[in-house]
Structure 1
Amino acid sequence: MTASISDVRAMVSQAFPQSMHDLTQLVRIPSVSWSSFDPSQVVKSAEQVAELARGTNLFDTVHILRAMKSDSDELGQPAVVARRQAAQGKPTILLYAHHDVQPPGDLAVWVSEPFEPIEKDGRLFGRGAADDKAGIMAHISALRLLPELVENVDLGIVLFVEGEEEFGSPSFENFLKDHHALLEADVIVVADSGNWDLETPALTTTLRGNATFKLTVRTLDHALHSGMFGGAVPDAFMAFAKLTSSFYSETGSVQVEGLTRSIAQIPEYEDDQMRLESGVLDAVSLIGDGHVLERLWSQPSITVTGMDIPDVANASNTLLPSVSARISVRVAPGQSASDAFEAVRHHILNNVPYGAQVDFEDINLGESFSTDTSGWAAQSISHSLTTAWGKDVVEMGVGGSIPFISSFVSAFPTAQVLVTGVEDPDSRAHSPNESLHIESFERAIVADLLFLAECNSREL
């Protein structure tokens, strides 16, 4: 590649209006992959992504494919796989993103319609704008421009855009088995993470694992009048509250025996920055111990993310016979998700108050991730990010989980797996008012293009 960085930026800038147009068209498709939403919208989204892939004129084949879910006889959601074979001696790069999105949540909280994207203050608002349809368009936009930047496109390219990541990727393991040859690559680039801040790029090097499950606590065989029996008979919520409080120390750290911690390299970062980025109320203290980034990157956490109890409008003066809740355990890198779940399960069984009955259902496990950044591909993408942003890349951990990455590692053990993304601390992925910082999106395209060009010049 002989073009200067200013030439590459100009090239991306000239094509950027088309990138934004295509992104907004994708965001307008409500491709929620959850089972309670319209699956035809996920199909429509896959078809649109496939058309974008064909429009690059780079691929030998473009397919919309499905696989069976691991836990049922149902087909998973559609994914797009496009492949271009490598010339002799050249690497093959797999570019991953996902086209499904989270449900919109409380519509009353959104500043705009979640599936009608709007630009405001340098950001594009809409469900999926950042997570992860901008990841798709960063890849597509770079692929469109690659033939203009290099004389001959010799590297192999796989574009893999999944359709059910937000629903836990239930068919992912079978998909990798069924289409292993089609997906095989030397380097896997996952565009589903974020950057350090609006001015600083990042390469994600660790992710926590997760263990989620439905917990039901029962104390009665039927509801009782709270006046006649309250104070003598334990209701289910009382038992549930006492049980879940046993998960935490006085400072809010997880105190479940058997959950482990790991060690992380921590860049400079202050508690006040965490308060600013998270929106913690002024009078509310942060929880846990150790550096605030250690709490996110290398320590476990336990969260109740949903409950089945009567809402306030329908509350009656009764003792609840049972309470069900969704429990989310984030697992520190280095510990298996199954070991973490067993530790929490053992803790619950040994700390149930008042002899209450407990049941565990719908258990989902996802492994943590950590990567070695000494390989040629990691060095190349770090250089591309630094050049595109004009600022040194930060290697960072992320407190969230992307369980399918460990599946990539298992299926392709010799491939280098790299995790990047277009999000920033204010993207609010999964929350109302999700948004994409538009300038960061453009830089992400520049970095993707530079990386592909470098890979094209490499001999294995």
Structure 2
Amino acid sequence: MSEPTVDPQRLQDDLERLVRLPSVAFPGFPPEPVREAADLTAQLLADAGLEGVTQIDVPDAAPAVFAEIPAPPGAPTVVLYAHYDVQPSGPEEAWTTPAFAPTVRDGRLYGRGTADDKCGIAIHLAALRAFGGRPPVGIKILIEGEEETGLGTLSELVAADPERFRADAFVIADGGNVATGKPTLTTSLRGFAVVEVTVRTLRDFVHSGVAGGAAPDALVALSRIIASLHDDAGNVAVEGLDRLPWDGAAIDEADFRRESGVLDGVSLIGDGPVAERLLTRPSITAVGIDAPTVRGAGNALIPEARAKLSARLAPTQDPQAAADAIVAHVRRAAPWGVQLELDVSGLAPGALLAGQGPVATAAAAALEAGYGVPVTRIGTGGAIPLCADLARIYPDAEFVLWGASDDRSRIHASDESVDLGDLERAAQAEVALLRGLAG
């Protein structure tokens, strides 16, 4: 029996239709495109031959799209997961072409969500279409609409009704490849925690010529706190955070510098293997600061300043314990008795996923079939809260984390893109995986 094949043009068309919708689920953005993306996802699944596609109401969040195909006798059931919500596009001028006008250049499709993670939906659709909507295994489709917000509401819904989503294997199409044409299985995830730090020192702005030198400036105090988070080499200096060794594929420093856009003469931070720094150790980044802007700033001491600290955590780290450790560090580092307000949010656990076992072996074989080259196993520095939660809720299930993004995809940045060749290869690999699991 010949292998079912993917239709590359239909695959691209499905992805382009999804990318045209600015489905940003964060507060302050219009909810209509998010709802349209849910509707379109449901419609495309129905077009791919699935019956009984439903939208699950998620409290205070965008709906999840769900559909189920019963397993043939003796065959396993597989959950296919992706998400239709996207990050905000950022400044329009940072994009070569508009973020929500999908455009092909040099074999890559550009637009917000092309790689994270509407390509995951397109891959699932292509695999289902290849089987005419009747795959050789049981299928449960779960497409969420709030992954980027980090709220974790869908995890609570799954935990409340675990039988509805129970499966033998979960295929999470929200990962990616280490490079174009290099198929990759992700075997670990870092966790995530956010701590917002507000520093107050004065009742109001005070002239710097009158009070400077004696009165404390809130922005200077905040800067000292942020500087204390790392040692002189750039390693995280917060006590009590997990650090694990990495024994998987190495990451070349020169390649990483080039792919990340590190400027000439600027050193990387931290010490030890680059892969370990990125995959199994903590990192802390100040992703935003509230303070007067340089343009129009007066010669005055600043009474209040705020920073948002984003921490990525080792796969084994309890996120609440990590947040507590960061809060304790900030309190110790705060100078001059400044007043502090500390808010913790966005907690998400990491996960260690099996790199071996029947499903992982089948996934590796499927990737090699789809791409024609051996598979690479590596971790990811990003957090996928639902993946970690599913591993906790279903400890006997096996997990496959992969996707079509690559080192050039610029996820969460301007000019996000996906290689169309890898998109087709990833979809063909999923076809091979479903057939392999049936066997």
For the aligned pair, the TM-score class normalised by the smaller chain equals over 0.9
**What residue number does 2:393 align with?**
411
Shift of residue 140 of structure 1? 0.5
DSSP 3-state at the match of 1:282: coil
Out of 319, 323, 328, which is 2:301 matched to? Answer: 319
Q: How does 1:199-218 map to 2 (within 5 A)?
A: 199-218=181-200
Q: CA deviation at 1:125?
A: 0.7
Shift of residue 76 of structure 1? 1.4
Count of aligned pairs? 439
**One-letter code aligned to 1:258:** G
Does the 8 A contact of 1:237 with 1:323 survive in 2?
yes
Alignment of 1:30-429 (within 5 A): 30-57=22-49, 59-68=50-59, 75-147=60-132, 153-429=135-411
Aligned partner of 1:71 in structure 2 is none
Separation in 1 of the partners of 2:385 and 2:39? 25
Deviations 1:165-210 (A, max 9, x none): 0111441233213543332111001011110111211000011111
Q: Unaligned 5+ residue runs, structure 2? A: none
How far the C-alpha of 1:252 sits from its partner, in A, is 0.6
TM-score by structure 2 length? 0.97
Measure how far apart 1:374 and its partner are: 2.2
Does the 8 Å CA contact 2:84/2:117 hold for their aligned counterparts?
yes
- In the alignment, is the contact (CA less than 8 A) between 2:242 and 2:281 conserved in 1? yes
Distance (whole Å) between structure 2 residues aligned to residue 438 and residue 147 of structure 1: 22
For residues 197 and 415 of structure 1, the distance between their equivalents in structure 2, rounded to whole angstroms, comes to 28
Q: Matched residues in 1 for 2:362 and 2:239: separation?
A: 41
Show CA shifts across 1:42-78 (max 9, x none).
1100000001111121x3421111222xxxxxx2111
Contact conserved, 1:118 with 1:124, CA < 8 A, in 2? yes
Q: Is the 8 A contact 2:19 2:113 kept in 1?
A: yes
- CA distance in 1 between partners of 2:414 and 2:28 (Å): 19
- Return the match for 2:418 from 403, 422, 436: 436
Stretches of structure 1 that go unaligned for 5 or more consecutive residues are 69-74
Query: Cα–Cα, structure 1 residues 352 and 403, in superposed 2: closer, same or farther, change >3 Å?
Result: same
Instruction: Tell me how large the CA RMSD over aligned residues is.
Output: 1.4
- The offset of 1:107, in angstroms, is 1.0
Secondary structure of the residue that 1:446 maps to in structure 2? helix
Distance 1:450 1:240 in 2: 53
Please tell me whether the aligned partners of residues 66 and 175 of structure 1 are also in contact (alpha carbons under 8 angstroms): no
Q: Check whether the contact 2:108–2:418 (CA below 8 A) recurs between aligned residues.
A: yes
Give the deviation of 1:364 after TM superposition: 2.2
Q: Deviations over 1:66-94 (max 9, x none)?
A: 222xxxxxx21111001111123210000
CA distance in 2, matches of 1:299, 1:160: 31
Secondary structure of residue in 1 paired with 2:436: helix
Which residue pairs with 2:9 in the alignment? 17
CA contact (8 A) 2:250 2:275 kept: no
Would the aligned equivalents of 2:76 and 2:137 in 1 still touch at CA under 8 Å? yes
Q: Which amino acid aligns with 2:356?
A: S
Helix, strand or coil for the counterpart of 2:187?
Answer: strand
Contact conserved, 2:136 with 2:434, CA < 8 A, in 1?
no
Find the aligned partners of 1:359 and 1:157 in 2 and give their Cα distance.
47
Structure-2 separation of matches of 1:179 and 1:49 = 23
For 1:155 and 1:361, the matched residues in 2 are separated by: 45
SS in 2 for 1:303: strand
